[in-house]
Structure 1
Amino acid sequence: MGTVFYEGTHRGEFIEAELPDNLSRDSVLILSGQSLKAGHVLGKILVGATAVAVAAAGNTGNGVMGAITVGAAAANGIYQLVIVGAAANAGVFEVEGPDGKIIGTGNVAAAFNASGLQFTLADGATDFKEGDRFTITVSAGTAKYKEWNPASTDGSQNACAISYDAVDATGGDTPGVIVDHECRALTGSLVWFSGATTNQIAMGLSQLATHRIKGV
């Protein structure tokens, strides 16, 4: 019997339809330490970002924002912190992400940690009132892509793209091409993390759909 050869997945094989002139694709950085296949479902992290908080003009409370730590799960853009519950020497706030979705609820004078943002909003001599707010601008981060896994907490738990071709990034961050919007993808040609269950795959497809990547 002769040698049996197995043909691997071709680049772009998962694409049933996409925008003309390759407009569904983007050139990105693939995070080091990975070996991806064409059709690999990806999430995104943010590396090296900074954040600046500014109190809204007209705030009643005069507490100040402490140092902000920006983690990989954060996104570039403007976050809104709004006081939703006033209390003496305390208070409750919500934080809304750049996409308009609430990422978490916190308490004045207590550490907040959600979706890649960590900070403490200090109580001031004058208490905050409901409606007082801060803008938190996250910028200068570098987006990097890695294998999607719903168990991650660094941002890559949100499926947002598909690797167009195989990428060997085991030796360091490596340029790659992704499909990240306006695409019909053949689900049978997609590559998921090892051990992905049927329910997890359904979750990943649902997340991709929010980027107008539809599994067919």
Structure 2
Amino acid sequence: MTAHEPKTLTHVFAGGDQTFCFEQETLAAGSGSDNVVDVGTVLGRITRGAVTVGNGGFVGTGNGTLTKANPAASADAQAGDYKIVCVEKTTDSGLFAVRRPDGTIDGYAVPGTPYTGQVKFSLADGATDFAQGDTFTLPVTVAAGSTKIVPLNLSATDGSQIVAGVSLQKKVATDGGADLPLLALVRGPSIAREQGLVWPVGATDDQKAAGLAQLNKLGIIVRAS
């Protein structure tokens, strides 16, 4: 391809059933800047919306308090109940394990020090000390994402940091403008040309390798040709 030759579908797509592998997607309007895609732009999909932390309960003998921060969660918080459990009793304090809904440990919190993990809060000791097993619960809900397509954003936490396909058209969805229809390669079995892919500016070799693995999971095999 010469410097002045526009990219076409064949610069990216090397094989597969177009009626099955291609999909008419929706390119989300820009928010803060234009969403610009070219033929071959690697795409992500918005699958997560707003994260909300409710007012959970407390079970135990201590009479200290938990105060949510504002915001009370990071964008990558999981949906479900976070358990803040006292695992070590001490006078006028205590050590609390913060357990995610999937059962893994998010971190450890102590009264008097703000906790800033997937959930964010502060604990305060009361007149009656916390006891081992005392548990606060913070219920987290995650709204559904729009499922719209945007250029792959490796720093995002709304789902668009995961490869969802490859653009087969050149489009610009302007900042604050309208969503646009976009033809994209989103599944296989199909073959894409490696030299036709357009990655985010600054993407490292490791990030590109991870992206190629994500395309592979979609059935899209990328080959140098």
TM-score normalised by the shorter chain: which range applies?
0.5 to 0.7
Secondary structure at the residue paired with 1:66?
strand
Report the Cα distance in structure 2 between the residues aligned to 1:183 and 1:153, rounded to whole angstroms. 28
Sequence identity percentage = 17
Report the Cα distance in structure 1 between the residues aligned to 2:67 and 2:189, rounded to whole angstroms. 42
Which segment is superposed worse, 169-178 or 16-25? Answer: 16-25
TM-score by structure 1 length?
Answer: 0.63
Aligned residue among 98, 113, 121 for 1:94: 98
Q: How many residues align?
A: 206
Amino acid at match of 2:217: R
Aligned to 2:68: 66
- Cα distance, 1:104 vs structure 2: 3.2
Q: CA RMSD in A?
A: 4.5
Cα contact 1:93–1:107 (8 A) shared by 2: yes
Q: Is residue 2:106 matched to residue 1:104?
A: yes
Amino acid at match of 1:186: A
Point out the structure with max Rg over C-alpha: 2
Report the Cα distance in structure 1 between the residues aligned to 2:136 and 2:29, rounded to whole angstroms. 36
Q: Is residue 2:176 matched to residue 1:172?
A: yes
Aligned residue among 140, 145, 150 for 1:137: 140
TM-score by structure 2 length?
Answer: 0.61
- Superposition map of 1:184-199 within 5 A: 186=192, 188=194, 189-199=196-206
Aligned to 2:161: 158
Amino acid at match of 1:74: D
Q: Specify whether residues 122 and 161 from structure 1 end up closer, same or farther in structure 2 by C-alpha distance, changes over 3 A only.
A: same
- Superposition map of 1:27-42 within 5 A: 27=26, 29-32=28-31, 33=33, 34-42=35-43
Report the Cα distance in structure 1 between the residues aligned to 2:171 and 2:77, rounded to whole angstroms. 24
Which segment is superposed worse, 22-31 or 80-89? Answer: 22-31
Point out where structure 1 has 5 or more consecutive residues left out of the alignment: none
Cα contact 1:160–1:180 (8 A) shared by 2: no
Cα contact 1:39–1:190 (8 A) shared by 2: yes
Report the Cα distance in structure 1 between the residues aligned to 2:85 and 2:173, rounded to whole angstroms. 44
Which segment is superposed worse, 64-73 or 33-42? Answer: 64-73
Q: For residues 158-187 of structure 1, what are the alpha-carbon distances to aligned partners after superposition, in whole Å with 9 as ceiling and x for unaligned?
A: 324235444412332635556767775626
Point out where structure 2 has 5 or more consecutive residues left out of the alignment: none
